Amino acid sequence: MILLLGASLIWAFSFGLIKEGLAGLDPTAVAVLRLAISLAVFAPFYRPLRAGAAQALRLAAIGAVQFGATYVLYQRSYAHLHAYEVALFTITTPIFVSLIDSAAERRWRARYYCAAALSVAGAGVVIWRSLGESGMLRGVILVQLSNLCFAGGQVAWRRERPRLPPEATDVSVFLLPLAGALALSLLASLMMTDWRSLAPTPLQWARIAYLGAVASGAGFFMWNVGSTRVNAGALAAVNNAKIPLGIACALLVFGERADLVRLLAGGALMGSGVWIAGWRPEVRPTAPRPGGPAR
């Protein structure tokens, strides 16, 4: 749990830092640079898997979705949204986790659809008056696609991690998902980025280095390790710990302005959806039968 909370605290400052500190830079290029720095941080710890290339490719594929696709979409959303809006709209990630995990287990629950409907309603309250602004809806969609990719990666990692050889530690294999993420973001940049015009200032380079080494590198590592040490309910709850922190940082530290009434009302609806998605009925122990244990 401490690892998850630590990652959430690190990420809380990232929203405003990206919006205010990296404005004007190509978002896909920023994603590539962040992931390249993260990969460099974990390269010295890498140890090849004895299980073979197939498992290594699976880990790379998980990283391509969880980190690569997530970042390509997430970074582009800042061109259309305020930092506090990006933070708020990441709240649907636990719902996606529940839906994907249920689909994998072929167990469907009506409450997941109710949770999704509440989240859509909450998002509508927040952005209703701003829908006429250029790209607002596009930004919301980009964040939701990003959430979907991050949720899918979390579920896949939790399923794949127990299959690794006993000698494989988290730090020794984390290069593989980062390599997959970097490969996908590089492929996207070939279609979206004009690398010749990219010219970050020294301060922007420092911010990219921090985001790559700390927010992406340490943050993703702490999150993936922590996610395998808690149950699904705790993971869903902590998934959104960064949201109030991120909103507070954007408003108080980076000086963004928001309609607090709509923000609180929409956030309450979306938070209710998350609570419904993560709710588990209380199971009361059955009284033991005479002469034998309870079944």
Q: What mean pLDDT is predicted for residues 218-245?
A: 73
Judge whether residue 212 has pLDDT over 50. yes
pLDDT of residue 294: 37
Percent of the chain at pLDDT above 90? 37
Interatomic CA distance for residues 193 and 75, integer angstroms: 13
Locate the domains of the chain by residue range.
Answer: 2-192+200-278
Give per-residue burial for 15-25: e unless 16+ CB within 10 Å, then b.
bbbbbbbbeeb
pLDDT of residue 265: 72
pLDDT of residue 103: 77
Judge whether residue 289 has pLDDT over 60. no
Judge whether residue 260 has pLDDT over 80. no
Question: In the structure, what pLDDT confidence band is assigned to residue 95 with cuts at 50, 70 and 90?
Answer: confident
pLDDT of residue 291: 40
190 Cβ neighbours under 8 A, 6+ residues apart = none
Interatomic CA distance for residues 36 and 213, integer angstroms: 9
Q: Which residue has the tokens 């949770």?
A: 115
The pLDDT tens digits for 234-257 are: 666 666 666 776 777 777 777 777
Nearest by Cα to 265 from 127, 125, 136: 125
pLDDT of residue 115: 62
The pLDDT tens digits for 179-200 are: 999 999 999 999 999 999 999 9
Judge whether residue 38 has pLDDT over 80. yes
Q: What mean pLDDT is predicted for residues 117-135?
A: 62
Secondary structure string (H, E, C) spanning the chain: CHHHHHHHHHHHCHHHHHHHHCCCCCHHHHHHHHHHHHHHHHHHHCCCCCCCHHHHHHHHHHHHHHHHHHHHHHHHHCCCCCHHHHHHHHHHHHHHHHHHHHHHHCCCCHHHHHHHHHHHHHHHHHHHHHCCCCCHHHHHHHHHHHHHHHHHHHHHHHHHHHHCCCCCCHHHHCHHHHHHHHHHHHHHHHHHCCHHHCCCCHHHHHHHHHHHHHHHHHHHHHHHHHHCCCCHHHHHHHHCCHHHHHHHHHHHHCCCCCCHHHHHHHHHHHHHHHHHHHCCCCCCCCCCCCCCCCC
Interatomic CA distance for residues 256 and 247, integer angstroms: 9
pLDDT of residue 237: 61
More confident residue, 260 or 41: 41
Judge whether residue 22 has pLDDT over 70. yes
pLDDT of residue 33: 97
User: Are the C-beta atoms of residues 285 and 294 closer than 8 Å to each other?
Assistant: yes
pLDDT of residue 283: 43
